[in-house]
Structure 1
Amino acid sequence: MAYDRYVAICRPLHYGTIMDSRACVKMAAAAWASGFLYALLHTGNTFSIPLCQGNTVEQFFCEVPQILKLSCADAYLREVGLNVVTACFSFGCFIFIVVSYVQIFTAVLRIPSEQGRHKAFSMCLPHLAVVSLFLSTSFFAYLKPPSLSSPALDLVVAVLYSVVPPAVNPLIYSMRNKELKDALKKLIQLVLVQQQ
């Protein structure tokens, strides 16, 4: 998304040639491949852990920190290793996003019209909000001290980084569609008229 925004704002006349179907396939393949390797790492680690405290996880999905709590072996080195790999993946994505948005904001601030700057910022800020929510809650979930851990807090944080960003993304990006906004306004007006 950051690269798409960068090309759309910084190289708008070349957007069609840069973001062609081949580029989209390459970006999707890179995302799928890195996600697969990351999942493979977690799966291999999970299946190699001896569990001696039952198999009930106090979450709505099998999250790695919760599985490590069930381990009877010393899981400290495994947890540190997973955190290092996670930090490397996250840091790489974070640096890419920061570099893209620095270039985007530099280009946007050079736009002479207020309306043009507003349009460019309104296109970028929802993406930054979702990414910030995801990164901040996932960093908190994985890097918080054990003294702050409680089942309720762990559940809330897990929902915030695993459910909310994917659920909010389509809403944010579809609300930029004028026809959808108009249809939503008509639906709200219809509901309000029926309630009277």
Structure 2
Amino acid sequence: MRLHRTSAAIAVAAATALSLTACDGEGAADSAPAGASASAIPDTGASRDGGTESPSAAESTEATGGGDTQASASGAPRVGDGTCRTSDLSFSSSGGMAEGEVLINLKNTGSAACSMRGFPGLDLEGKDGTVSAERSDRSAPTVTLAPGEGTNFSLHFPPGTGDGSGVTFTSALVTPPNETHAHRMSLAVGVPVDAGTAHRITVDPVGSGK
């Protein structure tokens, strides 16, 4: 998972949190205090989609100010192969079944049926930086959508403490499986900042939500 940029103020908070952790003698990653810097979120590698390795949505796309963005990486999408394309999908979010879970809903707005299988790319964006969600360990079904039909996938994250000490992300870049175009959507997600937070931000395969 990759942190692309972090403010100086957050970096100072990280140093303070590390100092307090050393004093307590408890350095476990998952028990670091909330309020630590987003710089503590480690870089764990690029997002993947559709079972094949690909850059994260933030790296593989060049933003155009909102909505769909076009990939800057080489390799144009295949045309007419029945794969669900970003341009033929609508994106929305809804509450998940538990705290720390959000459903990302995808609907086929095209004129023909399409299919997809695999993990989406998802990057959470905020004023303090960008974090790429990792894959969960769930298996990926094949999803076929007739025009007007929808599916979803789950985003999992450690819930924030609610005291304003964590990091709030305000948007997400979502790349469907086997696609090279991402869609930017508004998404408010608050997480605590500690050394284990990044590893607990994960996505399930498309079609495996409730």
TM-score by length of 2: 0.25
Give the number of the structure with larger relative contact order, counting CA–CA contacts within 8 Å between residues 6 or more apart. Answer: 2
Structure of larger gyration radius:
1
| More strand by percentage | 2
Query: More helix by proportion, 1 or 2?
Result: 1
With the length of structure 1 as denominator, give the TM-score of the two structures. 0.26
